[in-house]
């Protein structure tokens, strides 16, 4: 699955599902492509094009979103974000690698992004 966070929904649909927020475009591994919507009240992700409205696997979308965010250029954000404070965590190397990839090299930014994804805010 490939997600383009800059993709335009207008090429695939002019309709927005109730409670839906377009977050880009998505192409499944089988080649099916369309607008990617997040349904706020259910936490579901949907692929929508002129022929199909389909719910996507949440884990597959989450992993593709991590890759999509990792491919963004590094943010110019300061090292400390507003409302944040230093915390001590014990993390395995695999988790740190995922956070680092999701945050374009910034482990803390990646952890915050994944926490938002889990809460359905991204």
pLDDT at 55: 93
pLDDT at 118: 83
Phi, psi values for residue 61, rounded to 5°: -65, -40
* Distance (Å, whole) CA 53 – CA 45: 10
Sheet strands (E) in the chain: 2-4, 20-27, 33-39, 44-48, 53-56
pLDDT at 82: 58
Give the count of beta carbons closer than 10 Å to the beta carbon of residue 117. 18
Token duo for residue 45: 């992700």
Residue matched to tokens 């009240």: 41
pLDDT at 84: 67
- The answer to whether the beta carbons of residues 13 and 50 sit under 8 Å apart is yes
Predicted TM-score (pTM) of this structure: 0.58
Q: Which residues of the chain have pLDDT under 50?
A: 73, 75-79
């Amino acid at each position: 699955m490939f997600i383009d966070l800059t993709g335009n929904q207008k090429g695939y649909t002019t309709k927005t599902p109730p409670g839906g927020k377009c977050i880009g475009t998505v192409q499944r591994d089988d080649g099916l492509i369309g607008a990617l919507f997040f349904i706020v009240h259910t936490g579901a992700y949907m692929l929508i094009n002129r022929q199909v409205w389909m719910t996507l696997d949440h884990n597959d979308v989450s992993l593709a979103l991590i890759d999509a965010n990792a491919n963004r250029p590094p943010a110019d954000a300061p090292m400390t974000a507003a409302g944040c404070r230093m915390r001590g965590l014990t993390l395995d190397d695999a988790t740190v690698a995922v956070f680092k990839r999701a945050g374009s090299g910034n482990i803390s930014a990646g952890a915050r992004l994944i926490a938002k994804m889990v809460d359905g805010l991204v």
